[in-house]
Amino acid sequence: MSSSGAKAQSSAAKLSLPVELLPSEVARIFTHIHPVLLLSAYYARFHSLVADPVHTLLSGILPLAITQILYAVLCLPATGSDKRPTLKKKLNAPKKVSSDNNLVSKVFTVFFALVLSLLSTPVLAAVQVLFGAPITTHLLHTLLGSAHIALLAAFPLIYVHGSDSAKWREIASAYSPADEIFGGSVGCLVGAWLGAVPIPLDWDREWQKWPVTIVTGAYMGYVAGKLIGGRLLKGKRIEFD
Amino acid sequence: MPGETIPKPIAGDNNSIAAQYARAKAAKDAADRKKVAAIMKENGLALQGDKAPQKTTLEKLYERKAGAFKREWCWVVGFFAWLFCIHASGIFFFTKGFLLTRLVLEEKSSCQEPPIELSSTFKGAGEPEAGCWHPKTFDKAVVIIIDALRYDFTVPFHNTTTNPAQAFHNALPFLYDTAVSEPHNAFLLPFIADPPTTTLQRLKGLTTGTLPTFIDAGSNFAGTAIEEDNLLMQLKDAGKRIAHLGDDTWTALFPGYFEEGISRAYDSFNVWDLHTVDNGVVEHLNPLLGKDKKGLWDVTIAHFLGVDHAGHRYGPNHPAMTAKLQQMDSVLRDVVAKLDDETLLVVMGDHGMDGKGDHGGESEDEVQAALWMYSKKGVFGRTDPTFTIPPATAKIRPVNQIDLVPTLALLLGLPIPFNNLGSPIEEAFVGKKGVAWQNLAAVARMTAAGIKRYQAAYYEARGMDESTIAGSPHALWSIAEQAMISGTNKEQRWKDSYATFSAYEAETLRICRSLWARFDVPSMLLGISILAAGVLALVLYANAHAEAGSTDPALIEELDRAELELELASFAKGELAEDEPQSRSFVLTALRGIGCAVGPVLFILTGEGLTHDLLGGLSVCGLLGGLFIELKGRDLLSNPFPSTFWGWLAVIFTVSQSIGYASNSYTIWEDSILLFFISTFGALGAISSLRQQRSADRTLGVYHSLAFIALGWVASYSKLCREEQMPYCKSTYYASATSSTSAPWQLIIPFTLAVFLPEVIKSYYSSSRSYEGFAPVWIGWALRGGLILSAVFWILDAADDGDWFPYLAAGRLKSLRVPIAQTIFASTVGAGTTAFGYAIPCVSISTTAPHGASSKDAQMKTQAGSTVTILGYANTHGARYFLLVTNILLAVLMVQKPMGGGAIALMTWQILSLLEIIDLNSLSTSPIGPIILALLGSFHFFKTGHQATLSSIQWESAFIPLHTIRYPWSPLLVALNTFGAHILAAAALPLIVLWKQKPKKKGILKAVASALAWHLAYYAVVSLATTMWAGWLRRHLMLYRIFSPKFMVASAVLLIVDVIGILVALAGVRWNTLSVAEVFGWA
């Protein structure tokens, strides 16, 4: 399904490159801590999630947001910042000079990305409803689950790509080159999709209730997608034909 | 040639599209002919005259192409007809092995007519008061069923360190203790159930004394009430009053049998509730045993469910089970304490449970239940003193569950039910001292005679000669008869005759078991292999044709013309070789086998023997083998695995769903899963559309994808829930859950459809400027008229149901509305089909200046310089073919309830959106289109108020256009109602290929054949999977309720879509192509 997209590159005028992490040591380390942090926190909260999804999802939003913000600030190039972080690596000196500026713009970008990803929450909830989620009941469950998916899948993308419309069209058509961020987002959505699979089974387990499996799938898919996109298939594109 | 004039329009209707096109085209053709003439001259061919011969050449070429098309069409039809035979024979062989049938005989035993002369007369023989066929022992009985009471729950267990006791051990010691301490009052035995070990099946066995089979032919298939002779029926006939407490399965099996006021039925499906049923039974049982109410009943049946539910919920090794068994222990002690001397107490389990606490299968733990009989009369005995201690395991001295039937009947002085195959239990008849051999011989003889009588009647009803059945126990019968009279010692004589009668009974049971209660696994496997080979053949065929059918969409007019010239040139030289249609090679090979495949099947159907079955199966297998070898030789065997994302998606949708049918949950929630898949496709369609280069294409693609999702979602709110979906599902299809009429608000739906549906279709036509020719009349008037009539029909129907006009004579409204429905049918099926045959393509040709002509229209410049525009050119094939779909749409819509009509309309809209998505993303040769269409058909099957259950069939739809049942129309109408969505999807299938195709499109038939093969492949895989699962899970608890009906629906759908594919899709494509070619020439 994936190929390097040599054919596509020739047909489309200009195609984006995969996003590279910030060239710092912190970024390199934290990007490995990040999935472990997410999964272990998720695992720790799993029983409480099964017992009381609404409360647990609600109280989980803030820690998740902090984790994602940390990940974005420490590892990812913010939108509008130098698009070629590799260059920066070579010129180590100016890094400090622009740090003040950088901080302000980063704070702004984080805020901007947070607001937009929270705005995408109702859209994600609507998609779930269209796929068959209950609409008359469990609305809060769906919205809170969507908020988690938004923070996982949408927030890093917005942080990195801002409002670059050409890039967003690429992302919306799932034709962005694989990298950590895009891979994580696709993985998160595919995981949430697969999360619907065990719901109808008559095992009568508590964890089968809405939206536990969806959120679980989203978290696992996010981590898997992040690893696959960032390592195994970096730079590849999803080809349909 | 300068100065050449444009020829006159061809003869015929001046206003016909063909004439218009010919006139416009004449200018071009004139130039063509010049070239043709030049070519022919080059080749040294003499030209006779100026124009006539050249025209003939072109005509000849077209004629030849038309002939080739018709021949290829016949081969394609041949392939699909062959496939239908394969599917039918596969399903036939599986069904033959799977749905074992036992004839239910109407005969009933009667008190006055014993099956054999009584061996010794007694006072009052032939009267229930004294005993019908044998002196009775008890007046009254209390029958307590402890659901899932496994034998090892009741026997003591010695706790050792190596083998510690489990939670269920030693919790119910009462039965064992009484059997040991009061052997004349009680005995405890292992009680072996016949699988399937489900309560419903077990209760049938426990009351009729017969073996379970799939279909009890002759009984009401949909209903559950037992109609054959049984204990309760005999009780009722003898004037006994029966009280019932507990599990409501009894009231389903025996409606109207139980005394009102003292009986209480409880819901049996809530396995999470351990106590409601049991507490309710205890609460009502105690007063019945008391002095006040003792006189109100003769037999009391109490059915406890707590042990079974504890098993299902927790498994047997759980403290809840201990508590439950202890509760049962104390309940039984109370009952015994209150019991009087004339009352027999029977306690039994209807089946056991496996290690996890579930049941339904045939494992030892599941079939080993316990039986305990008790009375204060002291009449029970043992033939051997060591038998006083109940067996330590269920392997020792077990009795069959059906043995209870003759035992209870004879103890209570009733006739043994006619169909009984059980034998009397010796402990109950051998007497206190264990020496009443005469009594024992008498009951064994009586029971054996009953069995013999039943066997004779059964074989007679089946039209079989009993003596031809292998291992007939006739010999045993005569030996037993002999033993009765001969012999020196009286006691020895009775002993011997008891032994031989028992042997006769056991042997008969063995034979019957091998005849009825065993699935014919080889036949099932044969059916499954045929279906599997059919799937393989389909996929290979589809793949082979997909490659041939794909053409470059960017073919421009000029290229077409150049090609035509080349063709003309080589045709003139006589070089043009005709391609051999691939279907031909396929079918020719298959033809060799068709004779052997169909012939034997017909043989069997006419009632031939077993050898023919095998022959038929072998020939089908041989045919398939031969087919594949042939294919290999021809190098048609291409890689059957998909090469694109879309191809994989089609495979995932089909295969994952098919695997899911192995689980009852996924089968129950099939409609939600289909919505999930449909939405997934819509989302991916939107993503894919965003990849298009042109922004207009992107917008349209996303719009149609979102519309596709939204329409499916709206349709998903039309629901008819099946019982198993409760309480997570709310039915909306009818006015309420307990009604089968439409709610008043739903009557708005047909009118809404009449207003909007034609507009929606028009908008899709307009996008390619195809709302021309017949289309406005057809869609704007005929379809709308039909929809209005349909709406009026439902208003009249509601008026009739609701009695809105009480002053009208009864039946007046029906006599009004039936002709309305008949009019619609006549106009769609009769007039519509004929009109489709003669309809012109939906194009309009104008010679005026172009108004905003785009690539959707074709333009030709005449010599005078004015432009000829053909509106709707870009969708010539699709727009015309869709007219046929509107016919089918109206016919299907007519037989649906208003809510179902809405669903069908939404489906039509979804199909149109799907076609646009397919076209915009160039997916017309991908398998995804036909598969999504099949998903839509399956999805809307549920949305038109159906489920994969027999009870959801809307029988009343047969009466929409008819007053009475008329063959063959009534079954066809019910089929049209049930499978309407599948039929509409299959009818719309060619559109995947034809939509937005210009008239000169090449290889249309191949592409349609491929699409149809993919479409059928979906149903064939589903049918194969459900067949396999039904066969594999043949002893599953939910077989009757879930897997078997699903298998039946899938098989029916497969065969129906096979037929519709040929009769509508392929036939429609033939007419369509011929009609388009008549106007525009052959590609």
Q: For A184-193, write each residue's pLDDT tens digit.
A: 999 999 999 9
Residue B523 has pLDDT above 70, yes or no: yes
B710 — contact with chain A (CB < 8 Å)? Answer: yes
A62 — contact with chain B (CB < 8 Å)? Answer: no
Domain boundary among B631, B648, B678: B631
What is the average per-residue pLDDT within B455-468? 75
Residue B635 has pLDDT above 80, yes or no: no
- Answer yes or no: do A201 and B666 touch at CB < 8 A: yes
Residue A31 has pLDDT above 50, yes or no: yes
Rounded distance, CA B11 to CA B294, Å?
A: 99
**Which DSSP category does B170 fall into?**
T
Q: Are residues B475 and B555 in the same domain?
A: no
Burial class (CB in 10 A: 0-12, 13-18, 19+), B695: exposed
pLDDT for the residue numbered B559:
58
pLDDT for the residue numbered B100:
67
What is the token pair recorded at B173?
Answer: 């010691």
Pairing of strands A237-238, A2-3: antiparallel
Rounded distance, CA B760 to CA B762, Å?
A: 5
* Closest listed residue to residue A241, CA positions, set B641, B647, B685: B647
Q: What is the mean pLDDT of chain B?
A: 82
Burial class (CB in 10 A: 0-12, 13-18, 19+), B218: middle
Domain boundary among B608, B631, B654: B631
**Which DSSP category does B1062 fall into?**
I
Q: Are B1058 and B80 in contact (CB under 8 A)?
A: yes
What is the token pair recorded at A28?
Answer: 């390199």
C-alpha atoms less than 13 angstroms from C-alpha of B104 in its C-beta half-sphere:
20
Residue B821 has pLDDT above 70, yes or no: yes
Residue B96 lies in a domain: yes
Helix axis angle for B52-98 and B521-549, nearest 10°, is: 160
Q: How close, in Å, is residue A174 to chain B by CA atoms?
A: 7
- Determine the distance from the C-alpha atom of residue B1049 to the mean position of all C-alpha atoms in its chain, rounded to a whole number: 2
Q: What is the CA radius of gyration of chain B?
A: 37
What is the token pair recorded at B604?
Answer: 């069997």
Q: How close, in Å, is residue B580 to chain A by CA atoms?
A: 30
Which one is predicted more confidently, A88 or B999?
B999
pLDDT in tens, A74-106: 999 988 765 444 444 444 444 444 556 678 888
Q: Are residues B453 and B546 in the same domain?
A: no
What is the average per-residue pLDDT within B1030-1040? 80
Which one is predicted more confidently, B555 or B833?
B833
pLDDT for the residue numbered B41:
55
Considering A236-240, B260-264, B929-933, the range whose residues carry the highest mean pLDDT is B929-933
Residue B46 lies in a domain: no
Q: What angle do CA B1060, B1065, B1066 make, to 5 degrees?
A: 110
pLDDT for the residue numbered B179:
92
Q: Which pLDDT band holds residue B578 (cuts at 50, 70, 90)?
A: low
Q: Are residues B561 and B598 in the same domain?
A: yes
DSSP string across B85-100: HHHHHHHHHHHHHHS-
Number of C-beta neighbours around residue B637 at 10 A: 14
Residue A154 lies in a domain: yes
The least confident of A31-35, B513-517, B846-850 is: B846-850
Q: What total of structural domains would you count in chain A?
A: 1
At position B1, the amino acid (one-letter code) is M
pLDDT for the residue numbered B670:
94
Q: Are residues B72 and B89 in the same domain?
A: yes
Q: Are residues B567 and B606 in the same domain?
A: yes
Chain B positions touching A175 (Cβ under 8 A) are: 691
pLDDT in tens, A192-213: 999 999 999 888 888 999 899 9
B307 — contact with chain A (CB < 8 Å)? Answer: no
Residue B78 lies in a domain: yes
Under DSSP, is residue B148 helix (H, G, I), strand (E, B) or coil? coil
- Which phi and psi angles does B246 have, rounded to 5°? 105, -145
What is the token pair recorded at A18?
Answer: 């995969």
Question: Percent of chain B at pLDDT above 70?
Answer: 81
Residue B3 has pLDDT above 60, yes or no: no
pLDDT for the residue numbered B8:
43
Which one is predicted more confidently, B808 or B217?
B808
Residue A195 lies in a domain: yes
Q: Are residues B528 and B613 in the same domain?
A: yes
DSSP string across B721-785: --GGGTTS----SSSSTT--S--GGGGHHHHHHHHHHHHHHHHHHHTTT---TTHIIIIIIIIHH
Q: Are residues B542 and B607 in the same domain?
A: yes
Residue A119 lies in a domain: yes
Pairing of strands B343-348, B299-304: unpaired
- Answer yes or no: do B713 and A130 touch at CB < 8 A: yes
Which one is predicted more confidently, B42 or B943?
B943
Residue B1017 has pLDDT above 90, yes or no: yes
What is the average per-residue pLDDT within B255-276? 83
Which one is predicted more confidently, B490 or B1013?
B1013
Site of tokens 């023989």: B125
Residue A86 lies in a domain: no
pLDDT in tens, B672-731: 999 999 999 999 999 999 999 999 999 999 999 999 999 999 999 999 888 788 788 888
Residue-wise burial string across B492-502, b where 16 or more C-beta atoms lie within 10 A, e elsewhere: ebbbbbbbbbb
Q: Which pLDDT band holds residue B853 (cuts at 50, 70, 90)?
A: very low
A135 — contact with chain B (CB < 8 Å)? Answer: no
Residue A16 lies in a domain: no
At position B841, the amino acid (one-letter code) is P
Considering A95-99, A117-121, B567-571, the range whose residues carry the highest mean pLDDT is A117-121
A206 — contact with chain B (CB < 8 Å)? Answer: no
Residue A231 lies in a domain: yes
- Answer yes or no: do A127 and B710 touch at CB < 8 A: no
At position A213, the amino acid (one-letter code) is T
B646 — contact with chain A (CB < 8 Å)? Answer: yes
pLDDT for the residue numbered A142:
95
pLDDT for the residue numbered B730:
87
pLDDT in tens, B315-363: 788 888 999 999 999 999 999 999 988 899 999 999 998 877 777 766 7
pLDDT for the residue numbered B723:
78
Q: What total of structural domains would you count in chain B?
A: 2
Residue A241 has pLDDT above 50, yes or no: yes
Q: How close, in Å, is residue B645 to chain A by CA atoms?
A: 5
Q: How close, in Å, is residue A89 to chain B by CA atoms?
A: 34
Q: Are residues B471 and B553 in the same domain?
A: no
pLDDT for the residue numbered A85:
46
Q: What's the ipTM?
A: 0.90
pLDDT in tens, A150-159: 999 999 999 9
Phi-psi region of B5 (alpha: psi -120 to 50; beta: other; left: phi over 0): beta
Residue B130 has pLDDT above 60, yes or no: yes
Q: Are B597 and B623 in contact (CB under 8 A)?
A: yes
pLDDT for the residue numbered A189:
96
Residue A180 has pLDDT above 80, yes or no: yes
Question: Percent of chain B at pLDDT above 90?
Answer: 41
What is the average per-residue pLDDT within B22-32? 59
Q: How close, in Å, is residue A240 to chain B by CA atoms?
A: 5
Site of tokens 């939003």: A61
- Answer yes or no: do B687 and A200 touch at CB < 8 A: no
Domain boundary among B473, B496, B518: B518
Structural domain range at position B483: 436-518
Nearest by CB to A172, which of B644, B666, B687? B687
Which residues are within 8 A (CB) of B34 and not within 5 positions of it... i.e. 6 or more apart?
B1
Q: How close, in Å, is residue A202 to chain B by CA atoms?
A: 6
Q: Are residues B535 and B595 in the same domain?
A: yes
pLDDT for the residue numbered B772:
87
Residue B513 lies in a domain: yes
Question: Percent of chain A at pLDDT above 90?
Answer: 67
Which residues are within 8 A (CB) of B479 and not within 5 positions of it... i.e. 6 or more apart?
B500
The least confident of A82-86, A118-122, A224-228, B201-205 is: A82-86
Which residues are within 8 A (CB) of B345 and not within 5 positions of it... i.e. 6 or more apart?
B141, B142, B144, B335, B336, B339, B373, B374, B375
Rounded distance, CA B636 to CA B620, Å?
A: 21
Rounded distance, CA B739 to CA B1067, Å?
A: 40
Which one is predicted more confidently, A46 or B227?
A46
Best probe of the B interface among A3, A10, A130, by most B CBs < 10 A, is A130
- Which phi and psi angles does B859 have, rounded to 5°? -125, 145
- Answer yes or no: do A131 and B680 touch at CB < 8 A: yes
Q: Are B996 and B768 in contact (CB under 8 A)?
A: yes
Which residues are within 8 A (CB) of B46 and not within 5 positions of it... i.e. 6 or more apart?
none
Nearest by CB to A132, which of B645, B672, B710? B672
pLDDT in tens, B730-761: 888 888 766 667 888 999 999 999 999 999 99
What is the average per-residue pLDDT within B1065-1075? 94
pLDDT for the residue numbered B44:
47
Helix axis angle for B876-894 and B812-825, nearest 10°, is: 160
Q: Are residues B537 and B617 in the same domain?
A: yes
pLDDT for the residue numbered B282:
93
Q: Are residues B528 and B514 in the same domain?
A: no
Q: Could you write out the three-class secondary structure of B687-703?
A: HHHCCCCCHHHHHHHHH
Which residue of chain A is at minimal alpha-carbon distance from B313?
Answer: A204
pLDDT for the residue numbered B562:
66
Structural domain range at position A161: 33-80+99-236
Cα separations in angstroms, B756 against B314, B533, B675, B749, B886: 55, 45, 24, 10, 14
At position B463, the amino acid (one-letter code) is G
pLDDT for the residue numbered B1009:
92
Q: Are residues B527 and B627 in the same domain?
A: yes
Chain A positions touching B665 (Cβ under 8 A) are: 200-202
DSSP string across A131-174: TT--SSS-HHHHHHHHHHHIIIIIHHHHHHHTT-HHHHHHHHTT
What is the average per-residue pLDDT within B105-121? 85
Residue B462 has pLDDT above 50, yes or no: yes
- Answer yes or no: do B683 and A172 touch at CB < 8 A: no
DSSP string across B394-449: TTSS-EEGGGHHHHHHHHTTPPPPTT------HHHHS-TTS--HHHHHHHHHHHHH
Which residue of chain A is at minimal alpha-carbon distance from B701?
Answer: A173
Phi-psi region of B341 (alpha: psi -120 to 50; beta: other; left: phi over 0): alpha
Under DSSP, is residue B127 helix (H, G, I), strand (E, B) or coil? strand
Nearest by CB to B687, which of A130, A174, A241? A174
Q: Are B849 and B971 in contact (CB under 8 A)?
A: no
DSSP string across B295-341: GG-SEEEEEE-HHHHHHHHH-SSSHHHHHHHHHHHHHHHHHHHH--T
* Closest listed residue to residue B85, CA positions, set B619, B519, B658: B619
Q: How close, in Å, is residue A13 to chain B by CA atoms?
A: 10
